[in-house]
Amino acid sequence: MKRLSILAGLLLGASACCHAQTATLDVTVRTTGGQPIADAVVVAVPNDPAALSGAKPRAEQIEQIDKEFVPKVRPVFVGSTVAFPNQDSVRHHVYSFSPAKRFELPLYAGLPSQPVLFDKPGVVVLGCNIHDWMIGYVYVSESPWFAKTGADGKARISDLPPRSYSVRVWHPQQDGAEQDTGKPLDIAAGQHAEMAWTIALKPEVRVRRAPTGGGHMGHY
């Protein structure tokens, strides 16, 4: 029992030690009108590219539920794969024409046989050739340190190694270039930093909506 307590103490100590060597960044993103913005991707890119070595890509997924991409925005580290399981009873035909990744998953139900590899940084816009209103985004990040804002417009990047970064924000309806949002961040071990952005959004016009009126047959 005593040995177990010692082991637990060592593990806790090691964990505290690791956290003390990293930092946390809390970000808030709001519209120019002060409203919180959901689905904004915040990326911390180290100024020293060598800091990216050793970061590992992951396997992610974007589902299709009720004829929508869920989540609508999925940030991934470059080199990650994304599976597109179709949870609907109808079939989907997922595609992208984006320079960062051109691909097509012809009409399918269930889970496609292969996930899609996203091996180039950039924004990949997803569509469905059957349901034109469906739109989704894979944000392929050059840095492994990123987060996505929730409905409250807040995001947290934990386990940020202490060094200098350029922090940027991207959103699908952003009115302006992502690069223009860059802000410097110099963070020390154990530090808890906070940053805020105010960005202008363009209206989202590709939305699902009921069809417009069916005319007036027979009024001659």
Partner 1 sequence: MSCASTFVRVTFAAAASIAAAAPCRAVETSFDAGVEAAYDGNVTRGALRDDIRTDGYVAANGSATLRWPAGEAEAVWLSAGLRAAEYLHFTRLSFAGAEAAAGWQRKLGLGLTAPWVAASVTLAHESYRETLRDSDRLAFFLSVGQRFSERLDGSLGYAYDRRYAHHDDVVVPGISGAVWDVAGHTGSARLGYALDDRWQLDGSYAYRHGDVVATTHPYLTIFVASDAIGRSQAFGPDFFDYRLPGTTQTGSATLSYALGDRSALDFTYAYAFTRAVQHFEYRGELLSATWSYRY
By CB under 8 A, tell whether 127 contacts partner 1: yes
Binding mask 165-184 for partner 1 (x = CB under 8 A): --------------------
To partner 1, the closest distance from the beta carbon of 211 in angstroms equals 7
35 or 164: whose CB is closer to partner 1?
Answer: 35
Task: Give the Å distances, CA to CA, from 207 to 5, 121, 154.
Answer: 57, 27, 25
205 touches partner 1 by CB under 8 A: yes
Nearer to partner 1 among residue 2 and residue 216 (C-beta):
216
The four Cα atoms 68, 71, 72, 77 give a dihedral, to 10 degrees, of -140
Residue whose C-alpha is closest to residue 26's, from 173, 146, 193? 193
Binding letters toward partner 1, positions 80-109, x by CB under 8 A: --------xxxx-x-x-x------x-xx-x
Question: For residues 143 and 96, what is the distance between their CA atoms, to the nearest angstrom?
Answer: 22
Q: Which of 132, 159, 180, 194 forms a contact with partner 1 (CB under 8 A)? A: 132
Is residue 44 a contact partner of residue 165, using CB atoms and an 8 Å limit?
yes
Instruction: Count Cβ atoms within 10 A of the Cβ of residue 212 and give its class: 0-12 exposed, 13-18 middle, 19 or more buried.
Output: exposed
Binding site for partner 1 (CB under 8 A): 88-91, 93, 95, 97, 104, 106-107, 109, 127, 129-130, 132-133, 203-214, 216-220
